[in-house]
A and B are shown apart, each in its own frame.
Chain A
Amino acid sequence: MGSIKFFSEGIGLAWLALGVLAFLLGLGIWIRRSRMKPYLGNILIPVCLMVLSLVFLAFTFDFPAQEAGPAVIPRLYVLLILVLASIILIEIFRGKEKKVPRIERTGLLALVMAVFIGYFMAMPFLGYFLSTFIFIVVMLHMLSYRKKGRIWMIAGGWVIFSYFTFYKLLYIQLPLGLFEGLF
């Protein structure tokens, strides 16, 4: 089972992840060109779960073989996911699945996610207080909050509130980034 171990970490894992992504991408492109296009997400979710379950299943062969060993329970879950996800796929292809309504504000949602992830990435460098202040200001502007003057007050108010409540009262060691040693 040495070959399975190769894929469980490092470069092997990267290859495995790339392979899985390539497969899902290929499948996605194929579905988009087929009559099943409206069910793209509905199909990709169970397929994705099945592929990941198979990856987990493959890794269990690296575990010690015992009746009550560490592989028993993961294999049981994988088996059940494979069975249930297959039934869901069959239902989709039989036309039993409802179409999911499209997202009206795709751009806004993607932007919110990007800003949120950016906020998380910036936190170790800018520290919690500054990154949170910027995040709230950016979000309120993005969401067209009408009372422009209040945006700075809300962001500043929250930062002051979190300083006293979380940092001073609850002793939460918030990341300070550039301001390490200042507080």
Chain B
Amino acid sequence: MELFNNLGSAFVALLDWQTVLVMVVGCVLGILGGAMPGISPSTAVALLVPFSYTMDARLALIMLVAIYQGSNYGGAITAILLNTPGTPSTAATCFDGYPLTQQGQAGKALGVALVGSCVGGAVAAIILIFFCVPLARVALKFSPAAYFGIAMFGLATVASLGGGNVLKAMVAVLIGLLIETIGLDPISGLYRFTFGSDLLYDGFALIPALLGLFAVSTVFEQFENWTGLARIMAKVDSILPPFKEIWKLKRVMFQSSLIGTIIGVFPGAGGTISSFISYDVAKRTSKEPEKFGKGSLEGLAAPETADSSSVGGALVPLLALGIPGSATDAVLIGAFMLHDIVPGPLLFRDHPAIAYGIFASLLAANVLIFFIGLYGNRIFVKMASMSDAVLHPLILVVALIGTYSVNNSLFDIGSCIGFGILGWLLKRYGYPPAPIVLGLVLGKLIEYNFRRGLIMGGYMEFIRDRLALVVILFAFLSIAYPFFKQLLQKKSNSK
């Protein structure tokens, strides 16, 4: 009953003009960010996090979640029109989206992607609401040792962020974890690795690291093979197919929504995996599998719906346990931290307006995305065609101003540039930057709970506490699984 009361209040609060405005702005910026190749959802959210600092925490988080949701649909625009996924998770959308464009049905393809995206997002939001609150209640009973295990489980996200090389992704996460130890020790109060500089007493701020690793490094990467060629896209509107055609896709959309949400819940799985799995399942269960890859509406709806629903799924571990389910979730944790709010089980007790506000806004954002996508597509296409020569310098300027805005600190700007160069260099040699952010975000949680567990009962505490033992074992299995998978793959390749 408490759930429905809180949810009711949250929906009423959504009617406030400021909330509607931030949701619309969030959806528009999200779609736009997603539509620009090279800007991932995490980059889009990271660029906007600092500007939410002066906003009310509820409004800020509602806007950022709207950006996250919007960017998933935005990614489909370039995937369909240019055969270039705007976000990595829309790669599977290209399979049937682009053939439809080649057949002169780009508007219809955009329409189906829009409907799929909104249905997936809405179904996931409903599942999120009913799954998150009970999970958070259970998590309230976790001991520090169990929480250490949960945080370790969050590191399993690394597996999907590694881009194939799990070893390098693990090194990247350790870099983030080690950087996070710089500054004041959370338990003893000792200053560690500050090298005599008072600028490092609080360690490196998260926002400069986020913007450096996600935005600045991405821009540097674009200049490696700069051609300066403009993107030319046909200016088309989304055309909503007849209801009969949409109704035919109901099974695929529902099935993909469930797949996307369930896979999204597991840290590390995320939109890319869920969209590929949904595409595969849709093809296997379709009455017309031969049409897949040649412009099948089912083939387009499946990955798009799953991708969008993975957002709601990924928010489950973030809101209920405080661990990120995806790279964008790691950025969102940064936004929570910026407003002195700790995501996790206590969020529902201490900040119900924010927790339930996110639930309600996620549902509402999908309705907004539907109308914005339907009527604003021509503008998004025009803006996504913006020359990279203009876009990249502006991203650098926004990253710097965003970094500066949080603490008014030039040291933070220097850190942002440093992290940008580090991120670019590491990315170049196969070390993904997203796990570094994951390490920075989870570092304090891991250290604090690990050492509290040690203080409570030494190393045996992690074995005595049954729940902790199970979670830790599960976490290690999740981390070790990709290593074994890679090893088996290598063996089968060598045969």
Contacts and interface: CB of A to CB of B under 8 A. Distances in A.
Interface of A: 8-10, 13, 41-42, 45-46, 49, 53, 56, 59, 63-64, 66-70, 72-74, 77-78, 80-81, 84-85, 87-88, 91, 100, 103-105, 108-109, 112-113, 116-117, 119-120, 123-124, 128, 132, 135-136, 139-140, 143-145, 154, 158, 162, 166, 170-175
Interface in B229-255: none
Given A116-B396, A120-B414, A135-B397, A88 B167 contact: yes
B171 A143 contact: no
B22 interface: no
Contact of B187 (A59, A68, A145): A68
B453 to A, nearest CB: 8
Contact of B178 (A56, A112, A175): A56
A181 to B, nearest CB: 17
Interface of B: 51, 54, 167-168, 170-171, 174-175, 177-178, 181, 185, 187-188, 190, 192-193, 195-197, 216, 220, 223-226, 228, 387-390, 392-394, 396-397, 400-401, 404-405, 408, 410, 413-414, 417, 421, 425-426, 428-431, 446-447, 450-452, 454-455, 458
Given A128-B401, A162-B401, A70 B185 contact: yes
Contact of B190 (A13, A45, A64, A117): A64
Given A73-B177, A119-B400, A139-B392, 11 more contacts: A8-B196, A9-B196, A9-B197, A13-B195, A68-B455, A81-B171, A84-B170, A124-B410, A140-B389, A143-B228, A158-B397
A132 B223 contact: no
B397 A45 contact: no
Contact of B192 (A46, A49, A70): A70
Given A8-B196, A116-B417, A170-B54, A49 B171 contact: yes
Contacts of B431: 45
A136 B397 contact: yes
B174 A145 contact: no
B175 A49 contact: yes
B223 A108 contact: yes
B388 to A, nearest CB: 8
Contacts of A77: 174, 177-178, 181
B429 A42 contact: yes
Most buried by B among A59, A63, A73: A73
Contacts of B446: 73
